[in-house]
Amino acid sequence: MNIVVIGGAGYIGSHAVKLLVEKGHTVSCIDNLTNGHRAAVHANARFHPVDLVNTFQIIDVFQKDKIEAVMHFAASAYVGESVTDPRKYYRNNVANTISMLDAMHATGIKKLVFSSTCATYGMPPKMPITEDLPQNPINPYGDSKLMVEHMLKDIAKAEGLAFAAPRYFNVAGSAPDGSIGEDHRPETHLIPVLLNVALGKVPHINLYGTDYPTKDGTCVRDYIHVWDLVQAHLILLENLKPGQGLFYNLGVGKGYSNREIIDAVKRVTKKNIPVIESPRRPGDPPELFAAPDKIKRELGWSAQFTNLDQIVETAWRWFQAHPNGYG
């Protein structure tokens, strides 16, 4: 297929581009490089430095590259920032997605995989999280993603759009061959922050909250490997039917505490990780982990990287080879 990856120069998007190219698809990448890296885009993908706000430029790319399906990863994704600057999140995550959907409608594209998030569930009433739990976001980031889910359902009914909206948990790791990896500016994800400490780029890690009602007092999260995640996206795309909306939680179905993550990084890197215990951050749920049974039952997907040390090892391989990221 001719597939376009929106946000294909970002962390997850670049891995999707790589996978699709390796599977023999013709891949285009659209990214305004606000947060992405041109060097992360596979050499065999067509790159278009276009902003989603420019609907007619998006239409031009879709027409010239004869696009048949879209994977949409482009979004602002810092929870704390969404609280202090909600306009940015509704503009980037909602309004720009409308612009992209207008371009799809104008060019007759009917297949879309949209990256959603477990943040749409807010503070879930139980663990693990199943797809039928209430969606009550507690921040503008989660609200913006849920708004898009609602839009997609309505458009699917009206126009026959086929879409999937996988809800992610914590994404980690790097491409198994070490060719691309995670490089955020600023970096807020726990594993890469810890690896920067191991490299000596950061003096210590702040451990926010040690008095949660969990096994060791720290937050518990589900960590899914980025390569497993993008393979699930391809399976979703291959299973889309006209007018259908697919919703799946993508995780490993097990939660790891922050202390367990720190210990894993110590084991893998064989480095000391200085830790400063700090107060809780507002809005951090004690536990978040997925029940991925639905996608395994219906589509046969399950995570292959389920060992925490294995996930960290792939990230460490990238960080050692690229201590300054993409430069």
The catalytic site residues sit at 141
Q: Phi and psi of 238, rounded to 5°?
A: -70, -20
Q: What is the DSSP letter of 107?
A: H
| CA 304 from centroid of its chain's CA atoms | 17
Angle, in degrees to the nearest 10, between helices 308-321 and 258-269: 60
The C-alpha angle 311, 314, 318, rounded to 5 degrees, equals 140
* Helix intervals (H) in 171-307: 190-198, 226-238, 258-269, 293-299
| Residue 313 DSSP SS3 | helix
- Dist CA 141 CA 81 (whole Å): 9
**Encoded tokens for 72:** 């949409």
- Dist CA 274 CA 211 (whole Å): 19
| Angstrom distances, CA of residue 73 to CA of 77, 112, 117, 234, 316 | 10, 11, 11, 13, 24
